[in-house]
Amino acid sequence: MSRAPANPVPHDEQDRSGDFGKLLGSATVSITGDGMFLSSVALLAAHYTRDPAAISVVTAAGAVPIVVLGLPAGALVDRWDHRRTMAAVDAARFLVVVLMALLIATGHGSIGLIVAVAFLIAAGEAFYGTAAQSILPHLVSRSSPRLRRANSRLTATRILCKDFVGRPVGGALYAVAGWIPVLLNALSYATGSLLVAGIRQERHRPATGAPGPRSLRAEIGEGARWLWDHRVLRTLALLVAVDNLVFSAWIGLLVLLAQDRFHVSGVGFGVLSGCIGAGALCGSLLASRLGTRFGAARVMTAVMLLEGVATLLLGVVRQAVVAALLLAVVGCAAVTWNILTVSARQNIVPEHLAGRVNGAYRLLAGAAAPVGALIGGAVASFTGIPQVLLGGGVITVLLALVGMRVVDDAALRRTSDAGED
């Protein structure tokens, strides 16, 4: 098993603090646009069709690219400069979303257009997300406390900008014209691209392995094997894959549940969706402290149990206020899990394999999402949306009780300290 160097990149916290600020600024702008886009796209999809299966295809389209591109994206990110990759992806997404706004404004929008754009944006995220996770240790060091704090700041920014600002504003702007929040999202991508491009050149990343040129396939295989041979990270990836399947089965249908059961407007749906962010913000503030005090594995088990119970109850409640509270619990649980697992992975994985292992992990974690979305749409079409939530809640509770027994705090500490399984 490969060992991560104790301090593979010399780090000067003062020198790179400005670069982390640029990364944080880019995230602030582009994620605000994402929030507006997500609310407007959900409402646009419900405008073009009332078929749950068709709406679920939008969710699936946003998840398929990580399955197709996850592994090659990870290998290419290890070859390429991370900041240039991120800047180029955001520039490309700007062009795609500007075109979408133009088509909607001229009356040429359709559910097919939404599916196509969702796919292209997610294709860019396969590269952007892997590069962003890989570049962070260069900016804040590989120490667990600093990584947790940096991930907490990025996560809190993501939550505030997407769920507290972007989603409600997107729902409100949709009431004026559906193309406005889409256009603003395009502009946010352009701004984010410029900010990321201003990050200074990365220090040379040490390469290991066989000398000379290597095929992309061989590099992909090296990263995938490293992850699969690592018991802790492999188990976490499989756990989150099942959890993603359940979440994706119902989250795309939330707009129909909100309109048909809770009878909320476009603005109301944006606020209801924003409640996920309220809980997620709490998770971003508490995750590091809870993990330190009680142990990361114990905390992950607890939050997965909470997520399962909340999902189950969403299938039976009829009051929008109660549903809002349950969505907050789901958001808190999901973000707490994410911060603890991402920080552990960034600390454990050898630097020269960061892109490939992150890509392979994201593939395992994301491959179940389109399957879950399609299953959720099909089940909802035959039995109803509440049954999707009830079944998903039961599965998540069982996952927490059975699956997390494989990962304990001793194993997490051992692999974090040694960089090996």
CA-to-CA separations, 10 to 18, 128, 140, 165, in angstroms, rounded: 17, 24, 11, 37
Amino acid 5: pLDDT? 37
Asked if 248 contacts 63 with a C-beta cutoff of 8 angstroms, the reply is yes
Q: DSSP string spanning 284-314?
A: HHHHHHHHHHH-HHHHHHHHHHHHHHHHHHH
Gyration radius (Cα) of the chain, Å: 21
Question: Nearest Cα to 118, choosing from 216, 197, 42, 230?
Answer: 42
- Residues 419 and 406: their CA atoms lie apart, in Å, by 19
pLDDT at 202: 58
Q: How far is the C-alpha of 80 from the C-alpha of 376, rounded, in Å?
A: 37
Contact 57, 377 (CB under 8 A): yes
Task: Decide if 303 contacts 279 (C-beta within 8 A).
Answer: no
* pLDDT score, position 220: 86
372 vs 388: CA distance, rounded Å: 10
Contact 79, 168 (CB under 8 A): no
CB 71 within 8 A of CB 362: no
Distance CA 135, CA 22 (A): 13
Q: Where are the beta strands (DSSP E) in 249-382?
A: none
Cα–Cα distance, 243 to 364 (Å, whole number): 11
Query: What string of DSSP letters covers 106-118?
Result: TT---HHHHHHHH
The pLDDT of residue 66 is: 77
Secondary-structure class of domain 13-201+217-418 per CATH: mainly alpha
- Residue 203: predicted pLDDT: 57
pLDDT in tens, the chain (421 residues): 333 333 333 344 444 557 788 888 888 888 888 888 888 888 888 888 888 788 878 877 887 887 888 888 888 888 888 888 999 999 999 999 999 999 999 988 889 999 999 999 989 888 988 888 888 877 876 666 677 788 888 888 888 888 788 888 888 888 888 899 899 999 999 998 998 888 876 555 555 554 555 788 888 888 888 888 888 888 888 888 888 899 989 988 888 888 888 888 777 787 787 788 788 889 988 988 888 788 888 888 899 999 999 999 998 998 888 999 999 999 999 999 888 888 878 777 777 787 888 888 878 777 777 788 889 989 998 888 889 999 999 999 998 887 777 777 766 766 665 554 4
Check: pTM over 0.75? Answer yes or no.
no
Between CA 3 and CA 6 the distance in angstroms is 9
Of the candidates 20, 39, 42, the one whose C-alpha atom is nearest the C-alpha of residue 277 is: 39
Predicted local confidence at residue 8, as pLDDT: 38
CA–CA dist 182, 139 (Å, integer): 31
The pLDDT of residue 247: 92
Taking a C-beta distance cutoff of 8 angstroms, is the pair 256, 385 a contact? Answer: yes
The answer to whether the beta carbons of residues 131 and 71 sit under 8 Å apart is no
A 10 A CB-CB count for 299 gives 23
Give dist(CA 200, CA 82) in Å, integer. 11
- pLDDT, residue 373, reads 84
What is the domain partition of the chain in residue ranges? 13-201+217-418
E strand intervals along 14-129: none
Q: Which among 365, 361, 391 is positioned nearest to 376, based on CA atoms?
A: 391
Query: Around Cβ 96, how many Cβ atoms within 10 Å?
Result: 17
